[in-house]
Amino acid sequence: MELRESVIAITGAGQGLGQMMAITLAHYGAELALMDVNEQALKETQDQCHMLGVKALTYCVDVTSEGQVEQVFGDIVTDFGRLDGLINNAGILRDGLLVKVKDGQVSKMSLEQFNSVINVNLTGTFLCGREAALRMIETNCHGVIINISSVARAGNIGQTNYAASKAAVATLATTWGKELARYGIRAAAIAPGVIETPMAAQMKPEAIARLEAMIPAGRMGKTSEIANTVKFIFENDYINGRVIEVDGGIRM
């Protein structure tokens, strides 16, 4: 796929990885549909894209809302006339142990804690992927859908909810790669390791130190290293249904 003048939608585009993906794609001439729940953050990303001379519009949307997602993908096609790419990047963490017993005290991961992560990370990816695929087919765009998974998809202590969601979005990419190929649509996933973003900053310092010591590359990844992988997937028409691991070698 040629990035110049293609129309790419990015969820969670207000900060962190999503913002860097937007800036990187804008640098190569893509037009951006920037989606997030945080309107102020979206404006900041939009300003940075405008400085690179491309069209970038913002859409304040909660990816867990079926009605909002259906509406926004219709709006994107009305505003841009086409849709060539989607990056399912919006995601949250609500870490905790499944069951914790300490000093006679018992705590559990609540159903709300489990569902909140599944709703944003998995259901949001399903809804946006479904609507994007529909619009790509309707407008005869041979587009690309990229799901942002995680190294945690292999399973990680304290991340029952997050690990399950990230394994699932990787599987969605494989499924969509098979299912949507008949329409000329590709799908893929990226499984980043630990990347320097506001999300990583939510982790306890001792957890970060423990992780960095485990990373063969000896450091956290940079947002640009994930954004460059996004660019690579868009531009390489033979990547389909696969998960690209960008983790400094940390995966077990």
Ligand X SMILES: NC(=O)c1ccc[n+]([C@@H]2O[C@H](COP(=O)([O-])OP(=O)(O)OC[C@H]3O[C@@H](n4cnc5c(N)ncnc54)[C@H](O)[C@@H]3O)[C@@H](O)[C@H]2O)c1
Positions marked active-site: 162
Per-residue contact flags (x/-) with ligand X for residues 197 to 226, judged by CB under 6 A:
xxxx--------------------------
Q: Which two tokens stand for residue 42?
A: 């979206």
1-9, 33-41, 126-134, 229-237 -> range binding ligand X (CB under 6 A): 33-41
147 in contact with ligand X (CB under 6 A) = no
Read off the tokens for 134.
Answer: 């529909």
Element (H, E) at 31: strand 31-36
Residue 207 C-beta: closest distance to ligand X, Å: 11
Using CB under 6 A as the binding rule, whether residue 148 contacts ligand X is answered as yes
Q: For ligand X, which residue of 3, 9, 10, 11 counts as binding (CB under 6 A)?
A: 11
Q: Residues 6 or more apart from 172 whose CB is under 8 A from it?
A: 125, 126, 129, 147, 187, 189
φ, ψ (nearest 5 deg) of residue 15:
-155, 180
17 interacts with ligand X by CB under 6 A: yes
**86: helix, coil or strand?**
strand
Q: Report the run of H or E that residue 239 belongs to, with start and end.
A: none
Length of the chain: 252
CB of 101 to ligand X, least distance (A): 28
Q: Which residues bind ligand X (CB under 6 A)?
A: 11-12, 14-18, 36-38, 41, 62-64, 89-92, 120, 124, 148, 150, 192, 194-195, 197-200
